[in-house]
Amino acid sequence: MAKRSDITPELCRQLLRYEPETGKLFWLPRPLHMFTTQRSCSTWNGRFAGKEAFTNSTSKGHKKGWIFNIAFYAHRVAWAIYYGSWPKDQIDHVNGSPNDNRIRNLREVTHSENLRNCGLDARNTSGVNGVSWNKRKGCWQAYVCHNGKRIHLGSFTDRDVAADARREADLKYGYFPGHGLSRPATATVT
């Protein structure tokens, strides 16, 4: 049985073809030495070779698939095939669409950087990340997270003023332009 460490970028290149312009992965024909019998080789190649791979979606919209019964995200495999090494940390989808694995939509980031390019949380009721209504005080409050700390930006009677304070903080603390936007699952990079 294969281990995750056995799945190298070189092996991925032998098993899969990556199209950087579309972000899609396709199974390549496998040689006989990867199988125990000629029949299993012919069956596998007849069923999968040339077909799109990693077409399953997670609940958050990321594409995933399996290589020798080990699950991988398509964006990490695409990165490994294109650059010849596994990403050291996380891969961010620039446009926020987790199923858009074109190479120009992928960038290697730290966890902290990845959090600065999130869409609008589904539970958000103000329409702006980092802005919420404080019932007890009867005002809008704005905050931003930086280096693991929540920074209070102020209390405001007007939601738009609170939103402006948060947008200024986004610029100051290096949030990506798409952070906090409501994005369709099929957003594309231009």
Summarize pLDDT for 121-162 with one digit per residue, the tens: 788 889 888 999 999 999 999 999 888 889 999 999 999 999
Is residue 8 domain-shared with residue 85, that is, in the same domain? yes
* Residue 13 sits in the same domain as residue 83: yes
Boundaries of domain holding 70: 4-89
> Looking at the domain assignment, is residue 146 inside a domain?
yes
**Phi-psi category of 87—alpha, beta or left, where left has phi over 0 and alpha has psi -120 to 50?**
beta
Residues 40-67 as b/e (b if ≥16 CB within 10 A, e otherwise) read ebeeebeeeeeeebbeeeeeeebbbbeb
Q: Is 140 helix (H, G, I), strand (E, B) or coil?
A: strand
Asked whether the beta carbons of 14 and 81 are under 8 A apart, the reply is no
Kindly state the helix (H) or strand (E) to which residue 131 belongs, with its residue range.
strand 131-134
> With 50 as the cut, is the pLDDT of residue 185 above it?
no
Number of domains in the chain: 2
User: Is 190's pLDDT higher than 80?
Assistant: no
Contact between 64 and 54 (Cβ < 8 Å): yes
- Quote the pTM value: 0.78
